[in-house]
């Protein structure tokens, strides 16, 4: 006899609750027990495991209330001239942060991509090698970088591990990206948001930073060029130091400030905005000087035993103050997780 999720047998409800708890533990303890070990500890196995996992994943999807949105994807020629826009569609859901503030999370499809840059790419550096294939599982990523309005809403929630400045940014504006936030403060943001959502809705959604591999995969959105726009960028599409050029592109405007979310009204093929420029974006990974030994499953690359230390963490995407070469899809950067600057922000992910 088949059961829908809304008409599941009573023992499946127990399984759902246990699987949600397993997921919460896994997000806190990446290098500890495996998923199967945790499932065994929770007392789930055999048919219950298979049925429970399927029901749990279906249940999670139902909680998200996915909707569709349309957007324009722009590519450019070698000189940066815009090609005709390509109309695309993606799925997203909206998270209520409280105080009438919303967060839009875009569904990123799973797939395999080649991380890093080829030896022929202009301005590439050795930290972007070797190029390696990486398998990415489906996940969700915020449509834009976290804004100051969104930061204030979450910073007002109960403390988990550390205090948060409710208004840290150098450039002020509710629709501007929050900046001057450290990696540790961003992790606190994710923890507070996760606690709020799970306390209110019991969804098992745990917000986190994207891994570096997830970030690059999401930025490229199926492209292999230096930018998801193509071989170059212009200041009509990206906020960076327009006094400098990349490839055969032309000089443009240097705004010397951040721009509001969706300022250029164009997204990449996944429906994400401002993946190049505006503010650098924190990733979960510790810094490594190459991809030798990097995981190929899209997970964050953490140094064993140093999950909460002060070793450099990864930044991606470039910023308003940078040469366009630093805004490339493959470009990598690092920073002390305790420090912040007026060109560093972030976006959030969930599995």
Domain count of the fold of the chain: 2
More confident residue, 28 or 329: 329
Rounded Cα distance, 347 and 82, in Å: 27
- Please tell me whether residues 53 and 91 are part of one structural domain: no
Q: Is the pLDDT of residue 38 over 60?
A: no
pLDDT of residue 183: 98
User: Does residue 61 have a pLDDT over 70?
Assistant: no
Q: What's the mean pLDDT in 12-39?
A: 51
- What pLDDT does 304 receive? 81
CB 139 within 8 A of CB 85: no
Residues 285 and 221 in one domain: yes
Q: Which of 34, 64, 94 is the last residue before a domain boundary? A: 64
Average pLDDT, the chain: 89
One domain, residues 37 and 118: no
Per-residue pLDDT tens over the stretch 133-184: 999 999 999 999 999 999 999 999 999 999 999 999 999 999 999 999 999 9
Confidence of residue 14 (pLDDT cuts 50, 70, 90): low
Per-residue model confidence as pLDDT tens digits over 253-287: 999 999 999 999 999 999 999 999 999 999 999 99
CATH number at residue 105: 3.90.1580.10
Tens-digit pLDDT profile for residues 281-323: 999 999 999 999 999 999 999 998 765 678 999 999 999 999 9
Asked if 186 and 285 sit in the same domain, the reply is yes
pLDDT band at 21 (very low <50, low <70, confident <90, very high): low
Domain closes at, from 22, 39, 64: 64
Residue 85: per-residue pLDDT: 97
pLDDT of 10 over the 80 cut: no
- What is the model's pLDDT at position 305? 73
- CA angle 102–103–109, rounded 5-degree value: 145
pLDDT digits (tens, 9 = 90+) for 197-250: 999 877 789 999 999 999 999 999 999 999 999 999 999 999 999 999 999 999
Residue 228: is it exposed, middle or buried by C-beta count within 10 angstroms (0-12/13-18/19+)?
buried
pLDDT at 31: 45
Residues 145 and 213 in one domain: yes
Co-location of 32 and 102 in the same domain: no
Give the separation between CA 184 and CA 181, rounded to whole angstroms. 8
Do residues 116 and 155 both lie within one domain? yes
Residues 43 and 83 grouped into a single domain: no
The answer to whether 112 and 133 have CB atoms below 8 angstroms apart is yes
Please give the pLDDT value at position 57.
54
Q: Are residues 92 and 200 in the same domain?
A: yes
pLDDT above 80 (res 193): yes
Block residue for tokens 């923890």: 191
What residues make up the domain containing 43?
Answer: 5-64
Q: Which of 25-34, 153-162, 185-194, 231-240 has the lowest mean pLDDT?
A: 25-34
Work out the percent of the chain whose per-residue pLDDT is above 70: 81
- Choose the final residue of a domain: 37, 64, 91: 64
In a 10 Å sphere around its CB, with 0-12 CB exposed, 13-18 middle and 19+ buried, how is residue 317 labelled? buried
Residue located via tokens 């050029």: 245
For residue range 73-102, what is the model confidence (pLDDT) as tens digits? 999 999 999 999 999 999 999 999 998 999
In the prediction, which pLDDT does 306 show? 63
- Backbone φ, ψ for residue 133 (5° rounding): -75, 140
Percent of the chain beyond pLDDT 90?
Answer: 77
Residues 54 and 188 in one domain: no
With a cut of 90, say whether residue 42 has pLDDT above it: no
Taking the complete model, does pTM exceed 0.75, yes or no?
A: yes
**Based on the domain organization, do 118 and 9 belong to the same domain?**
no
Please give the average per-residue pLDDT across 34-57, as a whole number.
50
Check whether residue 229 and residue 270 sit in a common domain.
yes
């Amino acid at each position: 006899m088949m059961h829908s999720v809304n008409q599941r047998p009573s023992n499946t409800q127990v399984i759902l609750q246990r699987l949600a708890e397993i997921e919460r533990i896994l997000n806190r303890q990446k290098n500890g027990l495996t998923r199967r070990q945790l499932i065994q500890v929770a007392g789930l196995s055999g048919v219950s495991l298979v049925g429970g996992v399927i029901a749990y994943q279906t249940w999670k999807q139902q909680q998200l209330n996915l909707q569709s949105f349309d957007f324009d994807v722009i590519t450019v020629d070698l000189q940066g001239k815009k090609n005709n826009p390509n109309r695309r569609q993606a799925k997203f859901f909206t998270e209520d942060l409280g105080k009438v503030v919303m967060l839009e999370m875009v569904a990123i499809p799973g797939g395999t991509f080649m991380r890093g840059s080829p030896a022929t790419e202009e301005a590439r550096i050795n930290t972007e090698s070797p190029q390696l294939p990486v398998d990415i599982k489906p996940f969700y990523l915020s449509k834009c970088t976290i804004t100051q309005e969104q930061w204030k809403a979450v910073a007002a929630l109960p403390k988990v591990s550390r205090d948060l400045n409710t208004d840290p940014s150098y450039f002020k504006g509710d629709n501007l990206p929050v900046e001057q936030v450290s990696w540790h403060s961003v992790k606190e943001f994710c923890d507070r948001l996760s606690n709020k959502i799970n306390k209110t809705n019991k969804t098992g959604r745990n917000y986190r930073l994207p891994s570096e591999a997830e970030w690059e995969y999401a930025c490229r959105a199926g492209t292999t060029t230096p930018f998801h726009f193509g071989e170059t960028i212009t200041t009509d599409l990206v906020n960076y130091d327009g006094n400098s050029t990349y490839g055969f592109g032309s000089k443009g405007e240097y705004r010397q400030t951040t721009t509001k979310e969706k300022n250029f009204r164009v997204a990449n093929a996944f429906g994400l905005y401002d993946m190049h420029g505006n503010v650098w974006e924190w990733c979960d990974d510790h810094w490594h000087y190459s991809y030798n030994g990097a995981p190929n499953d899209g997970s964050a690359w953490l140094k064993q035993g140093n999950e909460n230390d002060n070793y450099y963490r990864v930044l991606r995407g470039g910023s308003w103050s940078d040469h366009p070469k630093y805004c490339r899809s493959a470009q990598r950067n690092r920073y002390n997780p305790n420090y912040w600057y007026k060109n560093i922000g972030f976006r959030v992910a969930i599995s």
